[in-house]
A = this chain, B = another copy of it.
């Protein structure tokens, strides 16, 4: 008889936690991901704002699991699930049979019926998203330096962020700092005061999931930094000229989408109807409805807490779900099939608002200001996966803290294998 085969799709926080929690289990694990790397999403905005380089927040999945003998890592693209035969279907026609399937495919940014906005308002989910946004931010400054028309120049120096959650707040603070530090002494026609950052949130407050006092503090801190915060005005149009929200319009060439996400196509694979954001409404034990051998975890799942509220789409939740599923698998192998509902434990909420300011809500304690900022930094260093990254990110932050220099202000394009940029650009 073969060993119990666990197939995990997705090498994010949830998938990785599942694999690691099964390190000592007598199972054969296959982890499949379209990418070769795990991404530390909480710091991705720092890649987009030139503070960190991509390799500081992403690591090869193979490398992270190299010491675990019962895992096989496969870089491949899943196109479906054959529920009857219990096999995962890959793009190249291969089939990967499973006894237990764990779907940890995460979310992507979603524009809720306005896909045409994406072209003008990229979201931040992948390493490529981050370098593309970095490119957009830095190119806007370069274009502004050469622009002589006052109105066009103002639009080039205006940056709009849609969405007032942690990502939006962190991006707003980081763009102010990147912009001011870049302009200072390095551009002839620009002044740091020309920079305008607008944060647009449809709801009544920023960081809506945080304790209201921390939202108020964050609002103040953003305003002190010079960020224009627009609350209670949902966005109605995004195009090449700017953003319209409520009865207002801001002319800008650079819009960043931090407002909404939708689950990957798991619902389609399983032939189950997803919720509005495409997530699977899972059973209390995180299995898919009617499929006790298929678990859905992390951002792909819609799970409910004891208090009736939804489990938030954050890294700790995905990790807890992964560990829960690993425990269930081990129990089942041992013959124990008693139901074990998932109980989410909320550790807290953190967000940073530029240099030396952050808010933290651990439930039992609420922190704000420079002390919270240090706790935020230490917490993130602690949660990083690799020793090397801990050292390098600490040093990168220290360097920025002491000198103000952001090290990764590179404008790079896509792969250049098929073009010779010099000739192409200069010869026509």
Contacts and interface: CB of A to CB of B under 8 A. Distances in A.
Contact of A264 (B56, B391, B422): B422
The 6 closest A-B pairs by CB, nearest first: A414-B414, A128-B416, A55-B408, A62-B186, A132-B415, A75-B142
Contacts of A36: 138, 142, 409-411
Interface in A120-146: 122, 126-129, 131-132, 135-136, 138, 142, 145-146
A154 to B, nearest CB: 19
Interface stretch (A76-84, A192-200, A224-232, A347-355): A76-84
Contacts of A422: 34, 105-106, 108, 264-265
Given A265-B427, A423-B108, A54 B127 contact: no
Contacts of A35: 411
Interface in A266-292: 268
A421 B391 contact: no
Interface string A405-428: 101111111111110111101111
A55 B407 contact: yes
A185 interface: yes
A421 B182 CA distance: 31
A63 interface: yes
A378 interface: no
B412 A127 contact: yes
A264 B72 contact: no
A382 interface: no
B413 A414 contact: yes
Nearest to A399: B388
A416 B37 contact: no
A128 to B, nearest CB: 4
A131 B415 contact: yes
Contacts of A118: 417-418, 420
A128 B55 contact: no
Given A119-B417, A136-B417, 9 more contacts: A34-B421, A36-B410, A53-B54, A60-B182, A63-B409, A75-B145, A108-B422, A122-B417, A127-B410
A265 B425 contact: no
Number of this chain's copies in the complex = 2
Contact of A413 (B128, B187, B389, B412): B128
A66 interface: yes
A79 B388 contact: no
A395 interface: yes
A67 B184 CA distance: 11
A74 interface: yes
Contacts of A264: 422-423, 426
Given A185-B66, A392-B392, A410-B58, A265 B423 contact: yes
B60 A409 contact: yes
Contacts of A338: none
Contacts of A265: 422-423, 426-427
A184 B106 CA distance: 29
Contacts of A395: 391-392, 395
A337 interface: no
B135 A415 contact: yes
Contacts of A187: 62
A92 B143 CA distance: 11
A267 to B, nearest CB: 12
A247 interface: no
A307 interface: no
Contacts of A426: 34, 77-79, 264-265
A56 B407 CA distance: 8
8 contacts: A34-B425, A36-B411, A75-B142, A77-B426, A118-B417, A122-B416, A265-B426, A392-B396
